[in-house]
Amino acid sequence: MRVTECEVVLVLITFPEDGDVASFATCLVDERLAACVNVLPAMESVYRWEGAVARARERQLIVKTTGDRVEALRVRVWELHPYERPEFLQLPVNGGDDRYLAWVRDGVQAPGIHEPPDADSTPRG
């Protein structure tokens, strides 16, 4: 399923528990690839890798971005992530508070670029 450029999406990424997740998440926000990155507490993942069942302590990241930033985010994750094949799962957002969704969109736009205001938010004088 393809999302349009301005639609908000969530991207799930796992990161090793002992990795520098703070720098990784900060980089994604600093570069406006993400409006926000939630870093969840450590968890244990069980998965199949190279024919065997493996376990690892990881952190789950929930990245809020938009459809037009997903490909640049994917490229940057592959550049920065310590895993050979990092998790990168894109989930469409079907609705939400319009003000919050606008905040996400604004958070990934280049500085000085803003969408026109809604007719309802136009100042009246």
pLDDT in tens, 48-106: 999 999 999 999 999 999 999 999 999 999 999 999 999 999 999 999 999 999 999 99
Q: Give, as one character, the DSSP assignment of residue 84.
A: S
Residue 124 has pLDDT above 70, yes or no: no
Name the nearest CA neighbour of 108 among 62, 60, 67. Answer: 67
Of the pLDDT bands very low, low, confident and very high (cuts 50, 70, 90), residue 112 is low
pTM: 0.84
Residue 2 has pLDDT above 80, yes or no: no
Looking at 3.40.50.300, 3.30.70.120, 3.30.2020.30, 3.30.70.890, the CATH number of the domain 8-108 comes to 3.30.70.120
Greater confidence (119 vs 35) lies with: 35
Greater confidence (70 vs 112) lies with: 70
Greater confidence (123 vs 21) lies with: 21
Q: Where along the chain do its domains lie?
A: 8-108
Q: How far apart are CA 7 and CA 98, in angstroms?
A: 11
For the chain, give me the number of helices (H) and strands (E)? Answer: 3, 5
Taking only the tens place, the pLDDT of each residue in 4-45 is 557 999 999 999 999 999 999 999 999 999 999 999 999 999
pLDDT of residue 93: 95
